Structure 1
Amino acid sequence: MKILFLSSWFPNKLEPTNGNFVQRHAEAVATLQDVEILHTIGDFDQKETYIFDDKVINGIRTLIIYYKNSKNPIQNFVRRMKAYKMGFAKLQKPDLVHANVLHNNMLFAVYLKSKYGIPFVVTEHWTALRKINQHQTSSAIKFIANYIGNRASALLPVSNDLKVSLENLGIKKPMKVIPNVVDTQLFEPNHSQSEVFTFVHISNLIPRKNADKILNVAIKLLKEGYQLKLKIGGDGETKTLREIVKKEGFENQIEVFDTLTSPEVSEKLKTSDCFILFSNDENQPCVIAESFASGIKVISTNVGGISEFFPSDFGILVDEPNEILLENAMRKLLNEKEITNKTEIADYAEKTFSKKAIAEQFTAVYEKILN
């Protein structure tokens, strides 16, 4: 089958990690199907109206069209749709479109269905559409999500929490939960035991990730005499974290790092004992699945769809991003003497999140629609 991936978010020169979970889904599907990717994004700094970036990335033809951004949202929308049309003309005609994120960009999938009769499915990741957040999300966004969703052949949210939320928006189409994917050949356990129990946090370090709270708790435990290490960082602002570590004098116990490549993320995870995610809000974070694939435990806030893919003995879920709850969870793991069964954790990830598992689930949906 020829499958065209369209996405509202996708890694590009302006935002190198944005929507990388969509890219991973496409790469999984490409193990079984003939996949191409089309993405458009506005750039305020470019002189030309359109720039075509057409290349093969990880074996998949990926066409990203940059259009000249303006302060006029209507002009931007018109340019974006024109960019999609020009890009589509350069690619093979697909049997099915796999759209991602119910943003107005995906009106192009509706256009392709009406003009050429090409069916489309939508994978949804967007926290703005979670039921708990819908009161803060604009009526226009919700209207467009409903309009596109009810013209799709199927909706494929990454968590049941999001599935219930899409139903709450009034989307009546068939839905199936298919989670994010992990490259289980890259993310795998390191079976040696670390000398000092090591926690790790990797994110984009935006405020809702609460990296500062994780750092505060680690410093408190170190001051109490606990033997631990913390590795913390990602593609966000790390200056403040570094200053706090230096001021408190824990440079030997706490490592702060900047943006990592995927192999570097894998190395950080497999050489740690526990990943910490302490967000106010999430859907189904790839990094928890990557941690399980690396055979390590996880402490996480119990938000979004996290608990749906979190066996009870693989870590600790806390009810809210409260430092006392995190401190109790970290203490519990530090005081535990049992050896983590890395193979059991990694096997669960292989069955649940591997490219093979995800590609087979998507393919079954495509076949049902096309047959």
Structure 2
Amino acid sequence: MKLRILHLPKWYPSRYDDQDGDFVARQIEAIARVATDEAPLQTAVVFAAVARGPLPSLIDVEVKLSGLVPTWRYYYRAHITGLAWLDKPLKLLLWLVCICKGVRAVRQYWGGDKPDIVHAHIMLRTGVVALWLKWWQRIPYLLTEHWTIFLPVNVWRLGWLRGRVAALLMRQAAAFTPVSEDLCKALARLGAINKRTIIIPNVVDTDLFHLPDEPTARRGLLNVAAFNEQAKNLSGILRTIARLRTTHPALGFTSG
């Protein structure tokens, strides 16, 4: 009997940015590759995001059934009424409509069968939907968290209410897989504790990235980070490298 996993990512590659949430897509693909004849899997992704350009209708959908993971991508208009205070809750409602449409589409694709588990990637809204499916259809859910907003330096942006919601979602999850020890500890400080917690770092293609056959002396530093100053502190890294080169002039640095 196949285990059916429905993935609900907050960030995921889209028509507007093929790198956004790329690490989530790689993790989902790695999960799908675990399938064997003895332990078959069926996976699917439902993703929704606000459109960054004009749409032919209020909601547009892209469906990709080829490849390892069938995917439903929904896009909804950024400007609905032209009133920012009204458009904000309406966009949240449209996001929920898109997710509901996607869940129904996946079930139809699976011949009417519901998921055995929902895998929510990055709180909060994906976790809320997963919790709703747990209460409504008794489907357990797994949470994977990447978001640095939960770290002490950023947690003030989260607010008290969202912190409490995160803690509730964590306690109700069947398991929790943060991508780092720091993130796990930061969430624990908010009361977001789950007895079944396993730290699983972002996946790496070991066919492409691996240790050399023969050990060699390191001569440079490679930094791989998104162009997000607030989260990645790129300017701080560059200042540190500049100071290091005063004593180590041969130090090379590459950032991507």
Which bracket does the TM-score occupy, shorter chain normalised?
A: 0.7 to 0.9
1:289-368 to structure 2, matched below 5 A, reads none
Please give the per-residue CA displacement for 1:75-125, whole angstroms capped at 9, x wherever unaligned.
011101100011111113211001111212332212222222211111112
Paired position in structure 2 for 1:36: 44
| Kept in 2: contact 1:2–1:96 (CA 8 A) | yes
Displacement of 1:191 = 4.5
In structure 2, the gaps of 5 or more residues are 36-40
Structure 1 runs (4+) deviating above 4 angstroms are 190-196, 216-225
User: What's the secondary structure of 2:224's corresponding residue?
Assistant: strand
- Equivalent of 2:21 in 2, 6, 19: 19
Residue 142 of structure 2 corresponds to residue 121 of structure 1: yes
Q: Given the superposition, is the C-alpha separation of residues 210 and 155 from structure 1 closer, same or farther in structure 2, using an over 3 Å criterion? A: closer
Q: Assess, with a 3 A threshold, how the Cα gap between structure 1 residues 218 and 191 changes in structure 2: closer, same or farther.
A: farther
**2: CA distance between counterparts of 1:221 and 1:153?**
46
The letter for the 2-side match of 1:183 is D
1:59 counterpart residue number: 68
Deviations 1:44-97 (A, max 9, x none): 422321111111475111111111123322101110110001111111321100
What is the aligned counterpart of 2:94 among 79, 83, 92?
Answer: 79
Q: Verify the 8 A CA contact 2:179 2:199 in the aligned structure 1.
A: yes
Partners of 1:102 and 1:144 within 8 A in 2: no
3-state secondary structure, aligned to 2:196: coil
1:6/1:100 contact within 8 Å kept: yes
For residues 62 and 203 of structure 1, the distance between their equivalents in structure 2, rounded to whole angstroms, comes to 26
The residue type paired with residue 93 of structure 2 is: V
Bigger Cα displacement from structure 2, 160-169 vs 186-195? 186-195
TM-score norm. by structure 1 comes to 0.56
Deviation at 1:139, TM superposition (A): 2.2
User: How many Å separate the matches in 1 of 2:71 and 2:10?
Assistant: 14
Which residue of structure 2 lines up, in the alignment, with residue 212 of structure 1? 235
Asked whether 1:230 is paired with 2:253, we answer yes
Aligned letter for 1:40? A
Inter-CA distance 108–227: structure 2 relative to 1 (3 Å threshold): same
CA-to-partner distance for each residue in 1:16-65, whole Å, 9 max, x for gaps?
Answer: 22222221221121122321111110114223211111114751111111
> TM-score normalised to the size of structure 2?
0.79
SS of aligned partner of 1:60: coil
| Pairing of 1:251-270 with structure 2 (within 5 A) | none
Give the equivalent residue in structure 1 for 2:206: 184
Instruction: Find the counterpart in structure 2 of residue 6 from structure 1.
Output: 8
Count how many residue pairs are aligned between Structure 1 and Structure 2: 233
Question: Partner of 1:17: helix, strand, or coil?
Answer: coil
Report the counterpart of residue 38 of structure 2 in structure 1: none
| Aligned twin of 1:197 | 219
Mapped to 2, the partners of 1:3 and 1:108 lie a distance apart of 15
What is the CA RMSD across the aligned residues, in angstroms? 2.7
- Residues 142-176 of structure 1, C-alpha deviations (whole Å, 9 max, x = no match): 13313322332222222333233333322354231
The amino acid of 2:44's aligned partner reads E
> What letter is aligned with 2:147?
W
Q: 1:366 — aligned with what? A: none
Q: Secondary structure at the match of 1:189?
A: coil
> Which amino acid counterpart does residue 52 of structure 1 have in structure 2?
V
Deviates further, 195-204 or 118-127: 195-204
Shift of 1:198: 2.7
In the TM superposition, what are the counterparts of 1:142-157 in structure 2 within 5 Å?
Answer: 142-157=163-178
Structure 1: which 5+ runs fail to align?
235-371
Aligned to 1:88: 103
Q: Which residue of 2 aligns with 1:139?
A: 160
**Percent identity over paired residues:** 26
Q: 1:171 to 1:188 in 2, by over 3 A?
A: closer
Amino acid at match of 2:73: I
Cα gap change, 1:202 to 1:54, in 2 (>3 Å): same
